[in-house]
Structure 1
Amino acid sequence: MSPRTRRSYDQYCSAARALDLVGDRWTLLIVRELLAGPRRYTDLHADLPGVSTDMLASRLKDMEQGGLATRRRLPPPGAVYVYELTPRGRGLLPVLQALGAWGEAELGERRPTDAVRAHWFALPLLRAIDGQGLVEVRLEEGVFHLHAGSEEGPVYGDGPAPGEPDARLVMDASTCTAISAGELSLADAVHAGRVEVSGDGALAKELRSL
């Protein structure tokens, strides 16, 4: 079966060419999820509430054809297929960060229909951290970890940090939302006692000294 033809803006413009690849609904949110590293299809579907199975499969195929993602089979005992970003796909991190910063003003109050996952706060918090290291973040909604300053590999991950983190941050949802919306800096949140910092790494010591 020949690959399906994707729609194009047919404009000799780098922005138009970029939107040919990532402008479809759900594509950038799939990138957001894959910035956590290899993910199974079922995990992606669970963390993208509202996307249909057909739509997710279609977008992943488009991303493979566009050189943004690959699909591979894990060795035993896993023996399952996972999707992961290519270097080209990971290069969308600053695009997502800029888009997230631009959209901070649109957050407002959480609507009753809004889904939420703890790790959706990962990229906004990553923008707020000025430093490098492994950071574990604990919220009421769950636990995730960040690879601050990392230029390769996963940007963040769901669940506790693999190994001893350089810093642990504990905060409530309202504080995390305020930081994500740009209403409160991480430094001010730490200084006000709204973020509890622990750990012996240089990053933890730096945050405690703010």
Structure 2
Amino acid sequence: MRTVEVFADVLCPFTHAGLRTLVDRRDRHGLTEPHLRIRAWPLELINGKPLDPHHVEAEISALRASVRPDLFAGFSVDAFPTTSMAAFAVTAAADRTGDSVLIEQVGLALRNAVFEEGLDIGRPEVVEEIAGRFGLQPLDAEATSTAVRADWDEGRTRGVVGSPHFFTEDGGSWFCPSLAISRDDVGNFVIAWKGDTEAFVDHVFG
């Protein structure tokens, strides 16, 4: 079964938009693969602090205004998680199964929970309910840290730039391939589809 690897943070709005765009395009073409093996790129650890919900809100406002007005309907600053590690405990458990379909479904479900349902996936009881839907038990804190840091180390070795970074089976490497992200003169985010977005999508599904 064909897969595309994605190194990404579970709380990154650009990842949510990118993953959903690929899945939507796959569905539109009536395809069942490739599936997305979503690996951890833990911005909380990389930056040494949790993501700022107000910063994320600004990114989401730009995404909704320009490229995906249909997403992020349930985002809430007040419910935004203060940690990604509880969610990574579930994604790491899914990755241990080696089931590419399950790995993708779990990754998408967690992102839908925070961005579409307004749930705090930093709370263990919230992620435990999501894990239960897939017959999974979240890893404990030590095992989660080991798994996340292993992905982080591998990502650095493979040249991951940030979240999301895609790798195709033929050796293709693409950082945030769909979105051109900049700021205007007063510091507001400006987001647009990249000119080579279609080339990336064709590469994935070709």
Higher helix content, 1 or 2: 2
Query: TM-score, normalised on structure 1?
Result: 0.30
Q: Give the structure-2-normalised TM-score.
A: 0.30
Q: Comparing both chains, which one has the higher relative contact order based on Cα–Cα distances under 8 Å and sequence gaps of 6 or more? A: 2
User: Whose Rg is larger?
Assistant: 1
